[in-house]
């Protein structure tokens, strides 16, 4: 028998799922730490994935609500890429990952968990992070509490020039 302790999953399982888009609603609130928002740009923001694939899994999200590239202005598209690059730089500084998976899932069949609002996933990777637990047991091990990771990343993302 396998026993894995992942208390954050129960919160998700038992929670009432919001009818509104979380990527539209969370930035309106004044609770960035509670909402795991790391960085606010004029046209997009960076938020941690509450149910991450790996430690420090973040997402870059436009404020504009759309499920695809349609409707995004050239400025919004450029901002998404600029903030994605900035995010990679911040993650490198904080955790020195050996690589990254960066991607966009368009549609449920492509793996989009929140298909109604486009977002870019950035998943830091280290040699050995796809070990036997993930491959054989289909289990992910996240080595640090998400708020501890947030507290390390927030000052790096928001340092004053």
Mean pLDDT by runs of 10 across the 161 residues of the chain is 54 70 95 97 95 88 93 95 98 95 84 84 82 48 80 93 61
Position 13 scores a pLDDT of: 62
Position 140 scores a pLDDT of: 58
Residue 16 lies in a domain: no
CATH number of the domain where residue 136 is located: 3.30.428.10
* Vertex 142 angle, CA 115 and 33, to 5°: 65
Closest C-alpha among 43, 34, 15, 59 to residue 150: 34
Structure tokens at 71: 């409707």
Position 72 scores a pLDDT of: 94
Position 141 scores a pLDDT of: 60
Domain that holds residue 149: 21-157
Residue 134 lies in a domain: yes
Structure tokens at 68: 């695809």
Q: Looking at the chain, how many residues does it have? A: 161
CB contact burial 78-100 (16+ within 10 A = b; e otherwise):
ebbeebbeebbebbeebbebeeb
Position 43 scores a pLDDT of: 97
Show which residues are catalytic: 119
């Amino acid at each position: 028998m396998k026993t894995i302790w992942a208390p954050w999953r129960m919160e998700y399982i038992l929670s009432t799922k919001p009818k509104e888009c979380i990527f539209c609603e969370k930035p309106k609130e004044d609770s960035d730490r509670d909402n795991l928002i790391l960085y606010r740009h004029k046209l997009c923001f960076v938020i941690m994935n509450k149910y991450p694939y790996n430690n420090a899994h973040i997402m870059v999200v436009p404020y504009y609500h759309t499920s695809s590239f349609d409707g995004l202005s050239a400025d919004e598209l450029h901002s998404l890429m600029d903030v994605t690059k900035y995010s990679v730089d911040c993650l490198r500084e904080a955790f020195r990952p050996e690589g990254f998976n960066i991607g966009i899932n368009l549609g449920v069949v492509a793996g989009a968990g929140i298909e109604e609002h486009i977002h870019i996933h950035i998943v830091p990777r280290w040699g050995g992070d796809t070990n036997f637990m993930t491959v054989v047991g289909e289990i992910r091990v996240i080595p640090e509490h998400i708020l501890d990771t947030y507290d390390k990343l927030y000052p790096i993302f928001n340092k004053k020039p």
